[in-house]
C-alpha cells in the first residue's frame, strides 16, 4: 500500500521513506559487489543476479521519486541524496562514457565498486553532519516547503535539461551500438570509434575490422595501408546488382560530402580481384603475389525479397537522393508509416543482415583452407555473428585496436542547417 503524497511529505513518513531509500541503495551496492565477485572468483549464481536486478530496478524507480522530492521538501539533504540519485541514473545509462574506456569483463565490477564508494561517502556525510548512519528525527521538525528551494532547484534543472537530454541520447546511442556490434563500435563524447580484433588458431590469423559507410577523410586509405599483402585475402563487403533492380544510385557520397566526411566507396582496394567461386582455384590463377587477394563475399540484390529491394529503393530516392535532407527524411518517414509493418522490417533484417552473414561466414571458412591471414572489413552489426563463428571453430581472441571513425567536431553542422536539418 502506497502512502499518499501529502502524508509522505510530513514528518515521520518522509523520514522513514528517505532512510528506506538509503538502506536500499546500500543493499543494492552490496548485492552488486557480491554478484560480480561470484562471477569472477566462484560459480555464477543466477538467483543472486535475479535478486540484484530486482533491487536495482527498485533503486532506479525510487531515485526518480527522491530526486523529485528534493525540489519539494527542503529538509532532505541534497549533499546526501544528489550523489545517490545521480549515480543511480548514471548506472541506468551504463555509466557512459566511463565504461567504454575499460574492458567488458571489468565493467560490472567497476560499476559495483563505484556504487559501494558512493554509498560509503553518503554514510560518512551522514555521520559528519548528523552523527548517525541515517537521517535523524530532529531534521524533519522544520517546515518542509520553501519557495527558494523549489525555485532554485527548478531553475537549475531547466538550465541543465538540454545538456542532460544530449547526454541521454548519446548514452542511449552508445548502448545500442555496443549491444548490436558486440563492442566493435562505440560512441564517445569525441566521436564514433570502431574496433579491429584479431583471432588466432593453428597458425591462421583472422582480422575483423568494423566499418561504417561514412568516415573521416583518409580513414579508409589508412585502414587499407595497414593490411598485410602476402598470403592474405580480404573478404570485402558490397551487395551487387546484376539485374539492375535499384532504380536510383545507392551512394553515401553525397551525404558524406555534405557533412565533411568520406564515403566507403572511396576505399580503393588494390589487390587481385577474385570471384567468390574462385576461392578454391586461387593457386591456378594469374596473380600478383605482392598484393592481397580480394573477394566480394556478399550477395547479389536478386537474392533479396522484393520488399527489401523496394525498401532500398526508397532509401536511395529519399535519404540518398537529391532532395534536401529534411525533405527526404520526411518522405522516408511517410513511407515507413504506411509500409513499415513488423513483417516487412523482419524481412529486411533477414536480407541485409542474416543472409549476408551466412555468405561471408561461408567464405571465411573456405578461405581458411588456403590463406594464412583473412581480413574481414564489414559493417559493425555483422561482427557478432562472424566473431561467434570464429570462436566456435576454436579461434582465440588476440590483439585489439581502435580507430576514430570520425569526430563530431569535423562534421559541418552549418551545412546541415542550410539543408534543412
User: pLDDT by residue for the chain (421 residues), tens digit each?
Assistant: 444 544 444 556 899 999 999 999 999 999 999 999 988 887 778 899 999 999 999 999 999 999 999 999 999 999 999 999 999 999 999 889 887 777 777 888 999 999 999 999 999 999 999 999 999 988 888 888 899 999 999 999 999 999 999 999 999 988 888 889 988 998 888 888 899 999 999 999 999 999 887 777 777 777 777 777 677 899 988 888 888 888 877 666 666 665 566 666 655 667 788 887 777 665 666 777 778 888 888 999 999 999 999 999 888 888 877 777 778 888 889 889 988 898 999 999 999 999 999 999 999 999 988 888 999 999 999 999 999 999 999 999 999 888 888 888 776 655 555 555 5
pTM: 0.79
pLDDT on residue 1? 40
293: DSSP letter:
E
pLDDT on residue 113? 94
pLDDT digits (tens, 9 = 90+) for 263-292: 666 556 677 888 877 776 656 667 777 788
- 330-339 own/partner pairs: CB under 8 Å, 24+ apart: 339/310, 339/311
pLDDT digits (tens, 9 = 90+) for 238-258: 888 888 888 877 666 666 665
Of 190, 26, 38, the residue nearest 121 (C-alpha): 26
What Å distances lie between residue 30 and 59, 118, 202, CA to CA? Answer: 13, 12, 44
Rounded CA separation 232/246 (Å): 33
**Exposure of 41 by Cβ count < 10 A (0-12 exposed, 13-18 middle, 19+ buried)?**
exposed
Amino acid at each position: 500500500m502506497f502512502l499518499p503524497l501529502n502524508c509522505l511529505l510530513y514528518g515521520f513518513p518522509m523520514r522513514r521513506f528517505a532512510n528506506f531509500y538509503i538502506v536500499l541503495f546500500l543493499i543494492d551496492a552490496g548485492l552488486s559487489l557480491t554478484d560480480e565477485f561470484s562471477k569472477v572468483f566462484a560459480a555464477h549464481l543466477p538467483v543472486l543476479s535475479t535478486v540484484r536486478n530486482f533491487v536495482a530496478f527498485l533503486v532506479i524507480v525510487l531515485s526518480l521519486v527522491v530526486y523529485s522530492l528534493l525540489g519539494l521538501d527542503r529538509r532532505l539533504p541534497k549533499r546526501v541524496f544528489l550523489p545517490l540519485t545521480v549515480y543511480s541514473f548514471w548506472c541506468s545509462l551504463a555509466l557512459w562514457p566511463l565504461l567504454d574506456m575499460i574492458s567488458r569483463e571489468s565493467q560490472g565490477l567497476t560499476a559495483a565498486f563505484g556504487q559501494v564508494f558512493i554509498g560509503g561517502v553518503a554514510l560518512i556525510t551522514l555521520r559528519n553532519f548528523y552523527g548517525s548512519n541515517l537521517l535523524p528525527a530532529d531534521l524533519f521538525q522544520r517546515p518542509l516547503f520553501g519557495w527558494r528551494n523549489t525555485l532554485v532547484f527548478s531553475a537549475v534543472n531547466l538550465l541543465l535539461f538540454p545538456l542532460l537530454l544530449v547526454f541521454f541520447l548519446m548514452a542511449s546511442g552508445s548502448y545500442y551500438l555496443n549491444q548490436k556490434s558486440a563492442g566493435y563500435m562505440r560512441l564517445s563524447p569525441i566521436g564514433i570509434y570502431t574496433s579491429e580484433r584479431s583471432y588466432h588458431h593453428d597458425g591462421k590469423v583472422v582480422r575483423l575490422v568494423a566499418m561504417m559507410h561514412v568516415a573521416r577523410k583518409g580513414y579508409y586509405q589508412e585502414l587499407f595501408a595497414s593490411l598485410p599483402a602476402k598470403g592474405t585475402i580480404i573478404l570485402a563487403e558490397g551487395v551487387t546488382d546484376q539485374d539492375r533492380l535499384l532504380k536510383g544510385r545507392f551512394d553515401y557520397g553525397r551525404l558524406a560530402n555534405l557533412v565533411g566526411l568520406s564515403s566507403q566507396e572511396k576505399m580503393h582496394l588494390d589487390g587481385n580481384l577474385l570471384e567468390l567461386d574462385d576461392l578454391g582455384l586461387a593457386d591456378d590463377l594469374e596473380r600478383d603475389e605482392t598484393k592481397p587477394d580480394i573477394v566480394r563475399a556478399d550477395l547479389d540484390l536478386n537474392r533479396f525479397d522484393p520488399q527489401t529491394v523496394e525498401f532500398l529503393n526508397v532509401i536511395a530516392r529519399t535519404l540518398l537522393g537529391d532532395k534536401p535532407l529534411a525533405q527526404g527524411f520526411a518522405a522516408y518517414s511517410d513511407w515507413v508509416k504506411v509500409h513499415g509493418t513488423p513483417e516487412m522490417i523482419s524481412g529486411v533484417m533477414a536480407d541485409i543482415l542474416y543472409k549476408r552473414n551466412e555468405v561471408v561466414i561461408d567464405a571465411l571458412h573456405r578461405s581458411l583452407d588456403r590463406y594464412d591471414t583473412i581480413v574481414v572489413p564489414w559493417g559493425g552489426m555483422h561482427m557478432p555473428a562472424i566473431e561467434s563463428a570464429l570462436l566456435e571453430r576454436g579461434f582465440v581472441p588476440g590483439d585489439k585496436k581502435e580507430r576514430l571513425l570520425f569526430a563530431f567536431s569535423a562534421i559541418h553542422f552549418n551545412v546541415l542547417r542550410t539543408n534543412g536539418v
